[in-house]
Structure 1
Amino acid sequence: MGVSVLSGQNVQRLAEVAPLPVPRLPLGRHLVLNGAITEAQLVEALQLQLRLNAPLGKIIVAEGWAEPRDILDALSAQSGLQIADLAATPPASELGDLMPVAFWLKHAVVPWIRMGPIVLVATSRPDRFPEVADAMAAAGLTAMPVLAGLDHIHAALARLFAAPLAKAAETCVEPSQSCRDWTFGARLPAILTGILILLVAVAFPELGLAALIFASVLTLSLFMALRLAGFAAHVAGRTHLIASHPGPRLPPISVLVPLYKEREIADALVRRLGRLNYPKALLDVILVLEEKDGVTQAALSAADLPHWMRVIKVPDLGGLTTKPRAMNFALDFCRGEIVGVWDAEDAPAPDQLERVAARFAQAPPDVVCLQGILDYYNPRTNWRARCFTIEYCSWFRVILPGIARLGLVVPLGGTTLFFRRQVLEELGRWDAHNVTEDADLGVRLCRAGYRTEMIDTVTHEEASFRAWPWVRQRSRWLKGFMVTYLVHMRAPRRLLADLGLWRFVGFQAFFLGTLGQFLLAPVLWSLWLLLFGLPHPIAQMVAPPLMAILVGFLVLAELLNILIGLTAVSAKDRRFLMPWVPTMMAYFPLGAVAAYKALWELAIRPFFWDKTQHGQAPEEDQPA
């Protein structure tokens, strides 16, 4: 096609003369003349561009009519610019210092080669290059454009700024709302205090028992009050899941999919995400891998990734390896104004992104996060998978929509989350050291005066159906809840001022209630002895009428849980789970093991990410 590619050996001639003016035919016309597309395809692409906020070339590639290289060649013919081979001649490391890294990322350009006063800068959008040239001229630099694909530019930027971007990904959140300063020395006073309390309880057993029972009943009361409030809002019809329809012009959406040691998931992931109906010209799915994760890289190398799905590798600095750190790094390379998160095993509803885009278009500016419904695609695997599904249905279909509608703090669910990108960056992204970065971010956005809404779209995941993997996953969640609570309670008065009294109480109810129910579960179980008239040490310390009230409260709490569970699985496709709802009492005892594991890790390994292995259960058919 007569378009040359620049490498390091032939840039001298380009540096001596500026590109000559050429007749500017439209890009689509160049593609037709080159035989890359037909006239009919060009007409259809122009019609699509009327409702898609995407460049014409991206639409043509998305429809499968041309390859990215065809678009680059046509752009070169249109602009008179040469194409830079960033792979054969990568940018020199010192060029990155010519301008701040934020400049290169903002404009999606990369400094390629410097020859005297001239810097050749690779861009995929020559129409936007004058802004780049003006900014560099103000810094005393003469910039000349060359062409490169956006994927190649991002790859070059990731290599050029690997260390500083990876380091910045660990420190995005302001120190007062991060746990990254939790050295062993900082944790030692709390550890010693805990040991002292335990020794006092052993030395004075009656006092210790009374304190444990009081704490267990208090946390149960908090937790049940929160669940009752959410359930009441659901029953009263005060809450509804937002169901919207796409508007006339859709925005570009980026979705981060963090992967780590995922041997079995690659083909299934591509197949599941391939079901999405969102225009592929506006879809940017980023598979976020750790640089040292050879397992996942090998799995993906055998997969045929579509053009709207790309891989970003997070540099290994020899320290922290967490999901939030990886997402912080990848966020710099997102192309969408809306940013979402899916997990490796997720199977989102085909119309999910249309609903997200429509709701953000209609929602007030303070709604910066949309949380979808999480469900499971393998509820029939075994009893534990059934109970896991009941638990999530209760939370995501009943309680969480209720507390969101009541204006309380919404602890986010880690996946099927969508954010206005600008606000996400203003909030400091995710805390790279918090193993429940989702719940922490939910608190921080609420403290900043923003809101989360539930949206009527479902993502199916894989239920953890084996005992020890369930304990490991649950222990990570509980450790993260402990971390989040302790971080935000560093300054209780400031937290109260940020949240207001109503949200502050809801914050206490969720975190103290959840943690107390798992950590103090053995104490609560022991109280069931009173129901059957069996001896219990508390009987000698409490009057019979008070014991009757205590037993009645336990029964009512369990009945409320059963009622919520039955309501949550009342939909046609989940009614087969109803007989299993009463067995949930036997489902949670392993949670106590997970809680004590979490408490131990909080003391000695607060940043350890206990990985959940995916791809262990077959995907069952889901209702349309």
Structure 2
Amino acid sequence: MSETDLSLATAPRHRPVPRRRRPIVSILMQDHGLAPADAMTALSEAHRSGADVSQALLAEELSRPETILAAQSTRHGALVLDPAKDPPDPALAGLLPPEVCLRHAVLPWRRSGGRLTVATARPERFEDLAALLPDETDPIEMALLPEGLLHEIITDRHGDEMARRAETQVPTHESCRDMGPGAAQRLGLGLLCALACLVGLLLAPTLFFTMATLLAIGTLLFAQLMKVAALVASQLSRQTESAAHGTRATVSLLIPLFREEDIAGDLLRRLKRLDYPRAGLDILFILEARDETTRRALEGLCLPPFVRVIEVPDGPITTKPRAMNYALRFARGEIVGIYDAEDAPAPDHLQRVVGHFARSPPEMACLQGILDFYNPQANWLSRCFTIEYATWFRVVLPGLARLGFAIPLGGTTVFFRREALEAVGGWDAHNVTEDADLGVRLARHGYRTELLPIVTREEANNRLWPWIRQRSRWLKGYMITWRVHMRAPWRLRRELGSWKTFGVQLVFLTAFLQFLLAPALWSFWLVLAGWSHPFGALFGTDALRALLWTFLATEGVSLLVSIAAISRSPHTGLLPWAPTLFLYFPLGAIAAYKAAFELVSKPFYWDKTAHGRSAPDHAGADLPEDGPAKRS
């Protein structure tokens, strides 16, 4: 039975116009001068990627879009629509949801003569439309429209509506958007808490300082125990990968850009290094509607056919997760990946990701890669940042995964099964660390995240105030994420289990409490200088000495884990800088207090990090670890 016969058998009311079955490559060769060698290349790429041959022809730039459209018209006996002369009927705008139209590249166009004309940019899959339309719909006939024009019409009609849905598609009980109202009340409450702390410090300084010290030591101990456990567990979690030849999937890469005019050209150059069939590659540059500077920068580039620009309509918030939720509607792939503007992925990333997904069960919904830097030698701050990232991505996250905890995702080099991503509602558009939040929500819905040893190099933020601003956003997001998932702790425990719920406290609560309570811990350095600590006045010198040794031991644990992390990275030259981290982490305390103030005053404010301010250390520093990059 032919594809057309199968469509008629399943949906006889939606009878398409009979098709002419000449292969499109044959039409292009006979009628439009396609070279036989190019035809063979297109057929080979279509087989390698699993895409339609028309998509392979476009992606490999073997034929012009208008020529392919004419050949499709000949093959299917379908009219090529011109919206300027024959606009779509606005009365049909509600026949199919815009998300369905985008997913299947179709658009109800007009009713005439007892038939419904439907425009499509993928005629080879037109028979899938029968199952989407209501049963009472007239018989359908195909018409052709370039995908870019189809997207323009849908965006003009439904762009604002889709942007509003992108802001609220995560269920209310899993979102932080309820923090929007009541800013004045939160600010008043925050000031009241600060005043209470000040009064306590003035009236009972010894008791207040002692209690803060005990809490700080407690969170520090939990954090260091987590690091040690992660170090041991990560030693047991070294992954092996087997080849997955012949695995095919379309991969959509979402790349949010906001005021990235300085790095757009470098980004495109790095993405072109990806070794993946172009017909199976769908790269979306996501712009905010008001971002004129990045738009002009992209207009000055020659974008390949597999790269598209998606503009997000203005709205009450301007965040990365809102932009990604909106752009996901335009994506073609069954696997969705995220890169940042400054990223330099290794060429084999996508092959390894697709292969790993193919070998994994459906509940394995997410793969997180390793982030590293291509400018660690820029200054002291970039060296410490590189060591910190090595600790997080090469020791802590693999260890947490091995221990069975929910993984707080990174915002880049992370890949999802699209079905799972849509099942949990995508990203929380209001959360400024949408990645970490999504990791917890995936776990709450029964999905798993695994670590994959693929490395992306990016630019280390090595300027003092921008570093503090970036870190304050991360810490504010951790505070928000903890608050969201702990608003109903028994529900969290029921969905995650006791062990993973404990992991949420270890990862999120200790992260921001350590920095907020850091001044209490700094006091121990003064003890070494001879200062009389208030703790000793209450509990005696022996207890103070024990606490001091505990503090020093935790510093030693941090140093040990950092050294282990550096040894797993290509940056062994940074080992002498590991002991200086005790001067680096106090910067996080400044960021934490900035984050706490913003939590009550402007929780959704996105403190944007500027990129393109620090070049790679040397030529090839942004290449993968097994490339010619030198060790730092």
Query: What range describes the TM-score normalised by the shorter chain of this pair?
Result: over 0.9
* 1:570 equivalent in alignment to 2:567: yes
Q: Does 1:120 align with 2:117?
A: yes
- Which residue does the alignment assign to 2:553? 556
- Greater shift, 572-581 or 169-178, is seen at 572-581
Q: Any idea what SS the aligned residue of 1:307 has?
A: coil
**Which segments of 5 or more consecutive residues in structure 2 lack a partner in the other structure?**
1-14, 628-632
Contact in 1 for aligned 2:222/2:506 (Cα 8 Å): yes
| Counterparts in 2 of 1:525 and 1:82: CA distance versus 1, 3 Å | same
Check the 8 A contact 1:325/1:430 in 2, yes or no.
yes
For residues 435 and 93 of structure 1, do their structure 2 counterparts lie closer, same or farther at Cα, with a shift above 3 Å needed? farther
SS of alignment partner, residue 516 of structure 1: helix
- CA drift of 1:45 comes to 3.1
State the distance in 2 between where 1:603 and 1:572 align. 39
Using the TM superposition, give the Cα deviation of residue 186 of structure 1 relative to its aligned residue in structure 2, in angstroms.
Answer: 7.3
Give 3-state SS (helix, strand or coil) of 1:145's partner.
Answer: strand
How far apart are the structure 2 equivalents of 1:136 and 1:494?
A: 38
CA displacement 1:444-477 (0-9 Å, x = unmatched):
1111121111101101110000000001100000
Moved more, 276-285 or 362-371: 362-371
Residue 451 of structure 2 is aligned to residue 457 of structure 1: no
Q: Name the aligned partner's letter for residue 220 of structure 2.
A: L
Q: Distance in 2 between matches of 1:137 and 1:605?
A: 45
Check the 8 A contact 1:478/1:595 in 2, yes or no: yes
Secondary structure of 2:282 counterpart = strand
Distance 2:542 2:98 in 1: 69
Q: Do 1:133 and 1:144's aligned partners in 2 also have CA atoms closer than 8 Å?
A: no
Partner of 1:296: 294
- 2-side partners of 1:355 and 1:587: how far apart? 35
**1:287 — aligned with what?**
285
In structure 1, the partner of 2:210 is 210
Query: Are the counterparts in 1 of residues 183 and 601 from structure 2 also a CA contact under 8 Å?
Result: no
How far 1:363 moved relative to its partner?
A: 1.4
Distance 1:129 1:337 in 2: 19
Cross-structure match for 1:129: 126
1:219 aligns with 2:213: no
Give the deviation of 1:114 after TM superposition: 4.8
Distance 1:498 1:136, change over 3 A: closer
Structure 1 residues 21-30 or 505-514, which shifts more?
Answer: 21-30
Cα offset for 1:119?
A: 4.1
1:475 is aligned to: 472
CA contact (8 A) 1:226 1:506 kept: no
Superposition RMSD on alpha carbons, in Å? Answer: 2.1
Q: Note the C-alpha offset of 1:291.
A: 0.8
- Report the more deviating stretch, 47-56 or 221-230: 47-56
Matched, 1:239 2:245: no
Q: Distance in 2 between matches of 1:116 and 1:421?
A: 39
Map residues 188-199 of structure 1 onto 2, 5 A cutoff.
188=185, 191=190, 194-195=193-194, 197-199=196-198
Residues in 2 aligned to 1:382 and 1:169: alpha-carbon distance in whole angstroms: 40
Q: Relative to 1, partners in 2 of residues 1:135 and 1:255: Cα closer, same or farther, differing over 3 Å? A: closer
Contact 1:90 1:156 in 2 (8 A): no
1:359 to 2:356 alignment = yes
Rounded Cα–Cα distance in structure 2 between residues aligned with 1:53 and 1:165: 30
How much has 1:36 moved relative to structure 2?
A: 4.1
Asked if 2 retains the 8 angstrom alpha-carbon contact of 1:242 and 1:359, the reply is: no
The letter for the 1-side match of 2:271 is L
Q: Specify whether residues 582 and 148 from structure 1 end up closer, same or farther in structure 2 by C-alpha distance, changes over 3 A only.
A: same
CA distance in 1, matches of 2:389, 2:453: 15
1:435 counterpart (415, 418, 432): 432
Q: How does 1:333-352 map to 2 (within 5 A)?
A: 333-352=330-349
User: Residue 81 of structure 1 contacts residue 145 of structure 1 at CA under 8 Å; is this kept in 2?
Assistant: yes
- The one-letter code sitting in structure 1 at the alignment partner of 2:243 is H
| Cα distance between partner residues in 1 of 2:56 and 2:285 | 21
Of the three residues 498, 501, 507, the one matched with 2:495 is 498
Q: Is the Cα–Cα contact under 8 Å of residues 36 and 66 in structure 1 kept in the other structure?
A: no
SS at match of 1:618: coil
Between the aligned partners of 2:479 and 2:471, the Cα distance in structure 1 is 12
Instruction: State the distance in 2 between where 1:580 and 1:135 align.
Output: 60
Which sits farther off after the overlay, 31-40 or 345-354?
Answer: 31-40
Partner of 1:11: none
State the secondary structure of the residue aligned to 1:161.
helix
Structure 1 CA distance for aligned equivalents of residues 494 and 19 of structure 2: 62
Aligned to 1:268: 266
- C-alpha change, 1:220 and 1:90, in structure 2 (3 Å) is farther
By how many angstroms is 1:111 displaced? Answer: 2.7
Shift of 1:278: 0.8
Q: String of CA shifts for 1:18-45, please: whole Å, max 9, x gaps.
A: 9985642111101111244222332343
Q: Aligned with 2:178: secondary structure? A: coil
Number of equivalenced pairs: 604
Q: How far apart, CA to CA, are the structure 2 residues paired with 1:163 and 1:362?
A: 39
Query: Is 1:603–2:600 an aligned residue pair?
Result: yes
Give the distance between the partners of 2:336 and 2:359, measured in 1 at CA: 17
The whole-number CA distance in structure 2 between the counterparts of 1:572 and 1:600 is 36
Q: CA deviation at 1:61?
A: 2.6
Structure 2 residue aligned with 1:368, among 361, 365, 378?
365
Report the CA distance between 1:516 and its aligned residue.
1.3
**TM-score (ref. length: structure 2):** 0.91
Report the CA distance between 1:548 and its aligned residue: 1.7
For residues 376 and 156 of structure 2, what CA distance do their matches in structure 1 show?
43
Q: Which digits, 9 at most, give the CA deviation of each residue in 1:312-362, with x for residues without a partner? A: 001113x11100000000001110000010001110011000010010011
Q: Which region of structure 1 is more displaced relative to structure 2, 241-250 or 372-381?
A: 241-250
Alignment of 1:92-131 (within 5 A): 93-115=90-112, 118-131=115-128
1:210-256 CA-to-partner distances (Å, cap 9, x unmatched) read 2211211111112111111111113xx31114534333131000010
Q: Is the 8 A contact 2:99 2:329 kept in 1?
A: no
Paired position in structure 2 for 1:228: 228
Q: CA deviation at 1:194?
A: 2.6
* Structure 1, 547-556 or 170-179: larger mean CA deviation: 547-556
